[in-house]
């Protein structure tokens, strides 16, 4: 029996993509979309563009592409705008980031060169390694939020946008914990007006987006929207939000491998992960306070997947270490090493070594695209608050208070696809499969 289909508003007109941070990830995303639109590149790594979804029984042979199954915005309808503390336009920033081939970048030059950053809301207290001049001035943090809302209004008017989505691709801010001013919308707004240090710049962007009814996704590990006040604001304004920290590179592999080891009941003595990278992200993470934010995000994954409390003999005592080393010659071409000490039958020790020569922004760009399209879909389905079905994309998925986040990539994918089936009134797939043998 089919479930009831949700009424999804059509994806008519232009979709504005608002991006705080025109750096390596976001320029690789924007230039990539422009190249795909021209038919000179392929959207590898994007579930919305390449993925399929099985519907019904295996014998039904119904496997449409996801983008044909749910009404997503077309790439032709995306319009990009963003903020940065540096004045470089998107072409200059992409050239400096050095991720994409020069020939590809030249092919999309007119489109990406036209995207110049608006002045940013920035404060070095929260990102110690950066210092730019393209920065707004305001008496209070509330003034700055209002200036961001004016940028958003101007962008909407200039391009005749029907809908917008904001995705944080800015640098990782210093480690912060939830504080009393983050508890309610009222205390948060008082803190904005009173320039409270507990309000980081990323929170000001998020506040501006939510106030305007714009979905917000957080690609960095910063606290940002993961505070009760902003979750409440999202519910009040009926806006979806999600985060935190794009799951790429080493953590992606960790959440692929760890569920496999656990499903075979193989034990773990230790997992040592180290990285060398030389991009601006690496430089920012060279500051211990920004690294702490990233470290917390990267460390949380294994405990949640392996559940040591349920399997004390296998996972009660493993040592987990994550290091990031800033090494300029590498640029965006990160190298991540993992040494994994596991044990099997009769506690015999074994080792796994991984050397992942990955391209951080190449792995992150398709996630930005998927998140933009799915967040817009969520908005048109009137889904609001935390979008746990998008955990698939994050290292530290946001979830309801009192719940633990789901980190296993395969459970996350099942959750995502079942959410899409649910939205279209299709039966959820449980993989029980008894009916094939009746």
Ligand X SMILES: NC(=O)c1ccc[n+]([C@@H]2O[C@H](COP(=O)([O-])OP(=O)(O)OC[C@H]3O[C@@H](n4cnc5c(N)ncnc54)[C@H](O)[C@@H]3O)[C@@H](O)[C@H]2O)c1
Binding site for ligand X (CB under 6 A): 20-25, 83-86, 97, 120-122, 127, 130, 132, 169-172, 201, 219-220, 245-246, 248-249, 279-281, 284, 360-361, 363-364
- Please name the residue that has the structure tokens 């039966």: 427
Distance CA 366, CA 117 (A): 21
Nearer of residues 20 and 278 to ligand X, judged by Cβ: 20
- DSSP state, 184? S
Query: Of 315 and 374, which CB lies nearer to ligand X in the complex structure?
Result: 374
Whichever of 86 and 315 has its CB closer to ligand X, that residue is 86
Residue 350 in tokens: 């074994």
Q: Which is nearer to ligand X, 136 or 380 (CB)?
A: 136
Task: Kindly list the distances between the CA atom of residue 158 and the CA atoms of 70, 148, 154, 419, in Å, as whole numbers in the listed order.
Answer: 29, 15, 6, 35
> Least distance (Å) from ligand X to the CB of residue 224?
10
Query: How far is the C-alpha of 45 from the C-alpha of 366, rounded, in Å?
Result: 6
Tokens of 144: 């700055």
**Which residue, 151 or 408, is less far from ligand X as judged by CB?**
151
Closest separation between CB of residue 320 and ligand X, Å? 18
- Residue 142 contacts residue 126 (beta carbons within 8 Å): no
In contact, 334 and 99? CB cutoff 8 Å: no
Closest approach of ligand X to the CB of residue 170, in Å: 4
**Residue with smallest beta-carbon separation from ligand X:** 23
Contact 398, 244 (CB under 8 A): yes
Q: Measured between alpha carbons, how far is 71 from 48 in angstroms, rounded to an integer?
A: 11
The C-alpha atoms of residue 110 and residue 435 are separated, in whole angstroms, by: 56
CB of 182 to ligand X, least distance (A): 18
Q: How far is the CB of 359 from ligand X (least distance, A)?
A: 9
CA-closest candidate to residue 148, choices 287, 37, 18, 239: 18
Query: CB 131 → ligand X: shortest distance, Å?
Result: 9
Question: By C-beta, is 51 or 132 nearer to ligand X?
Answer: 132
């Amino acid at each position: 029996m089919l479930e009831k289909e949700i009424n999804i508003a059509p994806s008519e007109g232009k979709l504005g993509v608002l991006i705080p941070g025109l750096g390596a990830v976001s320029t690789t995303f924007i230039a990539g979309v422009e190249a795909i639109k021209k038919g000179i590149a392929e959207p590898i790594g994007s579930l919305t563009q390449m993925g399929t979804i099985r519907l019904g029984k295996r014998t039904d042979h119904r496997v449409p592409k996801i983008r044909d199954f749910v009404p997503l915005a077309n790439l032709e309808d995306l319009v990009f705008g963003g903020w940065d503390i540096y004045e470089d336009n998107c072409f200059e920033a992409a050239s400096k980031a050095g991720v994409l081939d020069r020939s590809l970048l030249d092919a999309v030059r007119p489109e990406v060169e036209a995207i110049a950053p608006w002045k940013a809301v920035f404060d070095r207290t929260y990102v110690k390694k950066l210092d730019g001049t393209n920065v707004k001035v305001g008496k209070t943090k509330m003034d700055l939020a209002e200036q961001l809302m004016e940028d958003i209004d101007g962008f909407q008017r200039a391009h005749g946008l029907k809908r917008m989505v904001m995705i944080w691709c800015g640098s990782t801010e210093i480690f912060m914990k939830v504080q009393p001013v983050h508890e309610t919308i009222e205390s948060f707004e008082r803190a904005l007006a009173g320039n409270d240090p507990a309000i980081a710049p990323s929170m000001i962007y998020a506040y501006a987006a939510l106030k305007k009814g714009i979905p917000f996704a957080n690609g960095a590990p910063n606290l940002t929207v993961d505070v009760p006040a902003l979750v409440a604001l999202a519910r009040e304004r009926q806006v979806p939000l999600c985060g935190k920290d794009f799951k790429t590179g080493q953590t992606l592999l960790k959440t692929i491998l760890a569920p496999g080891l656990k499903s075979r009941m193989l034990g773990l003595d230790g997992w040592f992960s180290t990285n060398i990278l030389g991009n601006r992200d690496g430089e920012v993470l060279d500051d211990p306070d920004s690294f702490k934010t990233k470290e917390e995000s990267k460390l949380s994954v294994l405990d949640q997947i392996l559940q040591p409390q349920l399997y004390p003999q296998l996972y009660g005592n493993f040592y987990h270490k994550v290091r990031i080393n800033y090494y300029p010659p590498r640029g965006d071409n990160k190298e991540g090493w993992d040494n994994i000490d596991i044990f099997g039958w009769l506690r015999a020790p074994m080792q796994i070594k991984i050397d992942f020569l990955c391209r951080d922004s190449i792995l992150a760009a398709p996630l930005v695209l998927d998140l933009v399209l799915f967040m817009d879909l969520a908005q048109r389905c009137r889904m609001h608050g935390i979008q746990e079905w998008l955990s698939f994309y994050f290292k530290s998925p946001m979830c309801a208070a009192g719940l633990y986040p789901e980190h296993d990539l395969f459970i996350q994918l099942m959750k995502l696809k079942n959410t899409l089936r649910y939205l279209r009134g299709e039966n959820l797939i449980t993989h029980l499969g008894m009916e094939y043998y009746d």
